[in-house]
Amino acid sequence: MFKFIFGPVSSRRFGLSLGVDLSPNKKQCNFDCLYCELKGAKAVDTMQNPPPPKEIIDEIKRALEKYPDVDVITVTANGEPMLYPHLKELAQQINAFKNNKKLLILSNGALINDKSVQEALLEFDIVKLSLDAVTPRVFKKLDRAHKSVNLERMLEGTKEFACNFKNELVLETLVIKNINDTRDDFLALNRVVNEIKPSRIDLGTIDRPSAYKVSPVSFETLEILSREIEHIPLVIIKRNRIKNQKEFSCNEIIELLRRRPQSAEDIDDLFDEKSKIQLNKLLNEGKANIVNAAGVIFYKIS
Ligand code: SF4
C-alpha cells in the first residue's frame, strides 16, 4: 500500500502544512534538476501507476482527523505533481471537505501551457511554481527537462495562467553558483516576472545535499541579485536570519518600497528602531500600506 501523506510540517510562509505525495513509490519528474534533493533520475513525460484519487482522499481524511489544526494541504510529488493525470478531480474532491484550509500545489510548471493542467490549477488556493531560468541556455544546463518540455511555451503558459488565476501565484527561484547567479540572469528574470506578475517571488539557494555536484551562493549574493527584481514582493529564504539594521530616512524608505514591497521579516532585519518609527508614520499617513502575499506580510507604497 502507498503512503501519500507526510507531515504535518510547520512553514513560516504557509503555516502548518500536510504534504500529499502523488508519486510515493518512486521519483517521476519531467525535469532532472542539478540541485534536486532526490536522487538524479532520467526525466519522464508521463506518470506510471498513478494512484486513484479515492485512495489519496481517504488517507488525507484520516490524517486530518489526526491533525485538525493543519492550515494548508500541500500537493506535491516525489517528482512533478502536474504529471498526475487526475489532478483536477483530486483537487475538486479535496475542496469539497477542506473547509477553510488552503490547498497548495508545488510544481516545476513545465506543463502549464496545457489547458487541462491550467483548469486543474484553477482549483487551488495557492500555486507555487519553480522558475530558475528564463533563457534556454541556463534552463537546459540547470533543469535538464524532458525533450517534450519547451521553455518558451512554459513561460507563455505561465503568463496566460496568471491572467486567469484569481488566487495566489508564487514563483520560486533557486540560485546556483556559476549557473544562474549573474546580474544578466536576474535582469532577464525581472523582465519575465514583471510580465507574469505573481503575488510573490521566493529567492533561495541550495542548503541540502543535491543530486549532482553544485554549490550554493552566499546570502549576500542573493541579497545583491534580489535588487534586480522590481515591483514584485520578494522573500529571500534564509535558514539563519542575518540582522543588518541601519537607519533609513523617510525618502529612502519611500524609494525602497516604491522599487519593491519589503517583507515584514526584511524590515525587522534591516530597519533600526528609528526607521521602523518612520515606516509606521508612513502607514498612519496612508502613504504606505500592508498587504498579505500568499501568507507573507509585505509593506508597500500606497
Ligand atoms: S523539478 Fe523538483 S523533483 Fe523534479 S528534478 Fe527538479 S527539483 Fe527534483
Is 79 near ligand 1, meaning CB less than 6 Å away? yes
- Ligand 1 centre to CA of 151 (Å) is 15
Query: DSSP states of 36-75 as a string?
Result: -SSPP----SS-SSPPPHHHHHHHHHHHHHH-TT--EEEE
Query: Does one domain contain both 227 and 261?
Result: no
Query: Does one domain contain both 131 and 279?
Result: no
Is 257 near ligand 1, meaning CB less than 6 Å away? no
Query: Does one domain contain both 226 and 260?
Result: no
pLDDT at site 242: 65
Query: Does one domain contain both 51 and 127?
Result: yes
* pLDDT over 90 (residue 45): yes
Query: Does one domain contain both 133 and 24?
Result: yes
pLDDT at site 294: 79
CATH number, domain containing residue 78 = 3.20.20.70
Is 108 near ligand 1, meaning CB less than 6 Å away? yes
Query: Does one domain contain both 264 and 227?
Result: no
Which of 202, 218, 240 is the last residue before a domain boundary?
240
Which of 220, 240, 260 is the last residue before a domain boundary?
240
- Ligand 1 centre to CA of 104 (Å) is 17
Describe the strand order of the beta sheet including 288-293 as a list of residue ranges. Answer: 262-263, 296-301, 288-293
Query: Does one domain contain both 169 and 298?
Result: no
Is 33 near ligand 1, meaning CB less than 6 Å away? yes
Is 198 near ligand 1, meaning CB less than 6 Å away? no
Which of 208, 240, 272 is the last residue before a domain boundary?
240
Q: Take atom 6 of ligand 1 and give the residue whose Cα is closest.
A: 33
The number of domains in the chain is 2
Give the range with max mean pLDDT: 66-70, 149-153, 204-208, 216-220: 149-153
Query: DSSP states of 261-300 as a string?
Result: -EEHHHHHHHB-HHHHHHHHHHHHTTSEEEEEETTEEEEE
Q: Take atom 7 of ligand 1 and give the residue whose Cα is closest.
A: 36
The verdict on pTM exceeding 0.85 is yes
* pLDDT over 80 (residue 12): no
Q: How confident is the model at residue 11 (pLDDT cuts 50, 70, 90)?
A: low
- Ligand 1 centre to CA of 14 (Å) is 21
Q: Domain residues for 252?
A: 241-302
Query: Does one domain contain both 52 and 122?
Result: yes
Query: Does one domain contain both 193 and 209?
Result: yes
pLDDT at site 173: 98
Ligand 1 atom nearest to 143, measured from its CA: 6
Q: How confident is the model at residue 4 (pLDDT cuts 50, 70, 90)?
A: confident
* pLDDT over 90 (residue 94): yes
Is 29 near ligand 1, meaning CB less than 6 Å away? yes
CATH number, domain containing residue 279 = 1.10.10.10
Query: What tens digit of pLDDT does each residue of 248-296 get?
Result: 899 889 988 988 888 888 888 888 999 999 999 999 999 999 988 878 8
Query: Does one domain contain both 245 and 148?
Result: no
pLDDT at site 188: 98
- Ligand 1 centre to CA of 276 (Å) is 39
Is 38 near ligand 1, meaning CB less than 6 Å away? yes
